[in-house]
Chains A and B, each alone.
Chain A
Amino acid sequence: MAHLLGASTSSKKRRAGEEGDVSEAAAAAAGEEDRISALPDELRRSILTRLTFKDAIRTGALARGWRDLWKTRWPHRASVEVRISSPDDSRRELDALAHEPRPRRRLDRFSLVIDNCMLKSPELWGFTDYAAECRVEDLHVEYLHKEARRSTLKGKFNFPRCSPLLARLSLSRIGVIGSMYYKGARPFRFRALEVIRLHSVDITREGFKNLMAQCPSLLTLDLRGCDCGSLFFQLPYESKRDSLVMPPKLRNVTVADCRGFAVVPVPSLRSFCFRGDFTMPPMSSLSLPEDATLADLYIQFAHSAAELYKTKMLSNFLCLPKDSMFSPSVAMSSSYKHMVGGSTDEVKEDLPEGDLANLLMVKVMNFNWRRSEVQLVSFLLRKASSLRKLLIVSPNVTPPDLPYVEADLLLLKEALANGKIILSESDDITTQPYHSKVFIMD
């Protein structure tokens, strides 16, 4: 316990009886003060080293004084990229890493880029084991040579050892993810893993199932250019024991330019981004669970030959199961190139009432005033009773003289007049917060 011996007799300004007032006033004033930014960089770095890599990165968004601080949070180099162009490179790098002192340094990020050469599994494991010993939080493995796809690591890409702190796993053109199990692997091995990003990776159903079963914390699944096979497809004859169980907290799913079936049986889903052919799975068989509270939906149609009858599919999709809490925000980027002709009644035909009651925000990009597009907008205006804003990005801000259904066009013009619809030529700052960059390839 501290011993208060009394005030000194030196010439202090403080007067007896004033202490309470002074400290209270100071506390009130200090309450508005930014004490943490005022700490020396060295102390702030030390604080950042106690955060996960992800949380540390996020501090870069606090204020200018924080922007790059996380990058130097460790006194050593904590982001390492190894590039291998030949078997000699591989041996040399592995040898160098093996001679680093133990216990290993902490690594925020380890990136292995294999450029136009092959790597045997034990060599690959040499690198991933090293990263695991460094308790890496962001691991990236990439083959640059396109030929590597499908051939090099078929069925072999797995992790004998895994960093307990791994938060993000990014794999690019590594071939096939077969079984992620390795001898003696425990369930929930990727305990901290929140983000999986697979780029041009072929995924077997078994491998995917195992991976999902080992990632209890997964929040984000990002699949681009992958061959999914029947990845999320629930086979009717499957027993419950064999069926795919998605991680309970999975919130964001992106499926872009993938082949194969991909149904998303994810009750926790909050955000779904899709780019590809609307007529193909997963769109044609997308089953969102009845209790999904989807906050964002982004659909970008590819060059596909979407015929008009598919509009009905879109309508059905947008209508979703009854009572589903749907969507503060939907963004669509459409080409609709082939959606001409046919009966305009077709959209209306199957629409149940009131199912879009929770839709707050829609953004339609590449709007070209085609009849089906006007029809879609009209449909949204009629059905989405809570809709606050409908952003339309279109090269033409005035409708061309085409034979629209009068009622559709009237509705659209009315919404334009009262400000519900915002029509814009470019995807500028007013519309950008909504999805505009989700498909940037990083």
Chain B
Amino acid sequence: MEVDKGKGEAEETRKVAEADRDTVTLKSSDGKLFEVSKEAAARLSTVLAGMIAGGSIDDNGTDLKQIGSEALENVVDYCNKHANSIPSAALISSSISFNTAPFKEPEEWERKFVDRLSHDALFDLVEAANFLGMERLLDVTCHKISEMMKGKSPDQIREVFNIKNDYTKEELEEIRQELAWAFYDD
């Protein structure tokens, strides 16, 4: 009933044990297991870094109850890709406080990485990145979402994101008049 891919528990445990040295096993809310480089996980996620440092990593799969398997797969995928293709300098500059510094633009591969996601998968990934304290992945996903809003009218944005307009006509008019210049071209 619970077995998904027909792999035995013993085999799983052995695999996990083999990988124990340089990888971490993460378990999604729906019980799937994913393996990720310990170094990348610690570098990209403050939460995982804390867990690794604090010894609260479970060899049989660390429970991440807030994250579904699809999102976790994307997180792990991102970490592994990141480990392979990003010089660490990019990471350092991305962590400069965004009070002042411009955001570091996503790399080409990061852009592709989020572009292929469905609407829901993108939001699942934002939430997962937020939960895991993954600043760089948050940058990339928030950038993608902002791209979906840029230059659009409020009507168009509502349509893209299924936002329900709960304003009265009068309230909306008041908002538009308050800073009319921003609404000139609607």
Contact = CB atoms under 8 A, between A and B. Distances in A.
Contacts of B5: 4, 6-7
A47 B143 CA distance: 7
B153 to A, nearest CB: 7
Interface in A14-45: 14-16, 19, 23, 26-27, 30-37, 39-40, 43
A58 B31 contact: no
Contacts of A251: 184-185
B61 A8 contact: yes
A37 B163 contact: yes
B149 A51 contact: yes
B23 to A, nearest CB: 9
Given A7-B31, A8-B61, A50 B146 contact: yes
B156 to A, nearest CB: 10
B7 A62 contact: no
Given A8-B32, A16-B4, A31 B142 contact: no
Contacts of B169: 429
Interface stretch (B41-49, B107-115, B117-125): B117-125
Interface size range of chain B in the complex: 35 or more
A33 B2 contact: no
Contacts of B27: 8
Nearest to A251: B185
B177 A39 contact: no
Contact of B181 (A63, A105, A197): A197
A61 B167 contact: yes
Contacts of A39: 123, 126-127
A214 B143 CA distance: 30
B37 to A, nearest CB: 11
A33 to B, nearest CB: 6
A63 B179 CA distance: 16
B70 A23 contact: yes
B30 interface: yes
B100 interface: yes
A62 B158 contact: yes
Interface string A53-73: 111011111111011000000
Contacts of A252: 184-185
A68 to B, nearest CB: 10
Given A7-B5, A62-B158, A63-B166, A12 B30 contact: yes
A343 B150 CA distance: 56
A378 to B, nearest CB: 32
A5 B100 contact: no
Interface in A193-251: 195, 197, 219-220, 251
Nearest to A32: B162
Given A2-B76, A62-B163, A103 B101 contact: yes
A316 interface: no
Nearest to B29: A12
Interface size range of chain A in the complex: 35 or more
Given A43-B126, A55-B151, A10 B184 contact: no
Given A47-B149, A61-B167, A5 B25 contact: yes
B179 A5 contact: no
Given A2-B80, A51-B146, A251-B185, A61 B33 contact: no
B138 A35 contact: no
B165 interface: yes
A109 B87 CA distance: 36
A103 B100 CA distance: 6
Residue among A3, A23, A30, A219 having the largest count of chain B Cβ atoms under 10 Å: A3
A55 B130 contact: no
A9 B177 contact: no
A57 B143 CA distance: 18
Contact of A442 (B76, B99, B142, B180): B180
A53 to B, nearest CB: 8
Contact of B165 (A5, A7, A23, A63): A63
Given A14-B31, A16-B4, A63 B151 contact: no
23 contacts: A2-B73, A3-B34, A3-B76, A5-B16, A7-B2, A10-B2, A14-B31, A23-B70, A30-B120, A34-B163, A35-B161, A36-B123, A43-B130, A46-B142, A51-B150, A62-B165, A63-B163, A64-B167, A76-B99, A103-B101, A106-B99, A220-B185, A437-B180
Interface of A: 1-12, 14-16, 19, 23, 26-27, 30-37, 39-40, 43, 46-55, 57-64, 66-67, 74-76, 103-106, 168, 195, 197, 219-220, 251-252, 429, 432, 437, 440, 442
Given A6-B5, A33-B120, A440-B180, 14 more contacts: A3-B34, A6-B32, A7-B5, A7-B32, A34-B163, A35-B123, A35-B162, A47-B142, A50-B143, A61-B183, A63-B164, A74-B99, A195-B184, A197-B181
Pick the 9 closest A-B CB pairs, nearest first: A7-B4, A50-B146, A5-B33, A35-B123, A8-B31, A6-B7, A57-B182, A61-B154, A2-B76
